[in-house]
Amino acid sequence: MRSTSAAIVVLASTASAQLYPGQSPYNHTCELQNPLLSCPPQDPLLVDSCCVETFGGLVLSTQFWSTYTGGESAGQLLPQDTWTLHGLWPDFCNGSYTQYCDLTRQYDPIPSPNTTTGKPDGVPVPAYNGSNIGTFLEPFGKYDLLDYMDNYWIAQNQDNPGFWGHEFSKHATCFSTFNVPCYGPQYRKHEEVVDFFETAIRYYKRFPTFDWLEEADITPSNCTTYSYEEIRDPLVKQHGGLPFIGCTGPRYNTTEAGKNSTDNGYTVLSEVWYYEYVYGRPQEMNTVPVNASATYYTNCAKSEGAIHYPERTNGSVRVPTLPY
């Protein structure tokens, strides 16, 4: 979901089950480790990469605003007055990133891109056709987690579990700290999947985008439009760093309002990505908010009143069955 990003996709060792082969499966008692900061990057040869994020130290907590799901007839609805969870991504400290880092944990039914590099000569990412990743939570009895995900982690034009599988295999397999050997000799199959979902949700809950905007009187409207700064400023104030603010829809200068303008930014608010550095494991949430890249912090139009924050479609929304 980041094909338009200016970030550069870097080749990682992909087919290996471990980001750092040869890593001991035993000693990852992170309570005994100094919780080092994830950026600038730590040397994986000198630290326990299970206890500090040494592969993707710039952690992005990402959310969507959308007006429909495409799965309404199957009961796949958006949570009222809440942005939805997109994912938790490990970027390199320099802002580039890798994807599908462990093809032995490929649970994405619709790999996107379909090779590890997104180019024809990359390693192919085979489509997953097994039981959906949501079923992995059942042996752990995590039905409340599943329920939460069904309310707040919502796919567009895809079933929710397929999207969760996409997020896990494309992104979570690239964290050093969610790597299988980190769970030690007591590891239970798919334990890291549960851990990742719980962690992604913990970050999501920390950043209530809808409420932050609403407190600044920025609410969905099909009549009013907003300026980039009006959306940005409350989010910066609440989060502490500049998030990436993403838009879709027509470019401003192709719309009636933007005719004759040189502003070709997009005009429909759709995403926010919050950036963090992390002390120790991302699971522990000891984070430092940081700014999005100075060269890629929005693709939205900057002209006054150029941005739509659309109301959702009637019939695409429900009151969540459990609290945010």
DSSP labels for 44-79? TTTS-TTTS--S--EEEEEEE--S--S-GGGT--EE
59, 85, 146, 242: residue in contact with ligand NAG (rule CB under 6 A): 242
Residue 8, class by beta-carbon neighbours within 10 Å (0-12 exposed, 13-18 middle, 19+ buried)?
exposed
Report, as residue numbers or ranges, the catalytic residues: 86, 167, 171
Residue 125 in contact with residue 116, Cβ under 8 Å? yes
CA proximity to 225, closest of 302, 310, 300: 310
User: How far are the Cα atoms of 66, 211, 309 from residue 222, in angstroms, in the given order?
Assistant: 13, 18, 7
Could you tell me the smallest distance in angstroms from the CB atom of residue 209 to ligand NAG? 18
User: How far are the Cα atoms of 19, 77, 178 from residue 207, in angstroms, in the given order?
Assistant: 29, 21, 22
Span 38-57, contacts to ligand NAG by CB under 6 A? 41, 48
96 binds ligand NAG (CB under 6 A): yes
User: How far are the Cα atoms of 133, 221, 258 from residue 313, in angstroms, in the given order?
Assistant: 29, 11, 25
Span 138-167, contacts to ligand NAG by CB under 6 A? none
Could you tell me the smallest distance in angstroms from the CB atom of residue 51 to ligand NAG? 9
CA proximity to 171, closest of 286, 244, 94, 86: 86
254, 296, 305, 321: residue in contact with ligand NAG (rule CB under 6 A): 254
Span 162-201, contacts to ligand NAG by CB under 6 A? none
Could you tell me the smallest distance in angstroms from the CB atom of residue 126 to ligand NAG? 4
92 binds ligand NAG (CB under 6 A): yes
13, 112, 115, 156: residue in contact with ligand NAG (rule CB under 6 A): 115
Could you tell me the smallest distance in angstroms from the CB atom of residue 239 to ligand NAG? 9
Dist CA 275 CA 142 (whole Å): 28
8, 74, 110, 322: residue in contact with ligand NAG (rule CB under 6 A): 8
Q: DSSP assignment, residue 26?
A: S
3, 21, 22, 26: residue in contact with ligand NAG (rule CB under 6 A): 26
- Residues in the site for ligand NAG, rule: CB under 6 A? 8, 10, 24, 26-27, 41, 48, 67, 92, 94, 96, 114-115, 124, 126, 129, 222, 241-242, 253-254, 259-260, 262, 264, 289-291, 310-311, 313-314
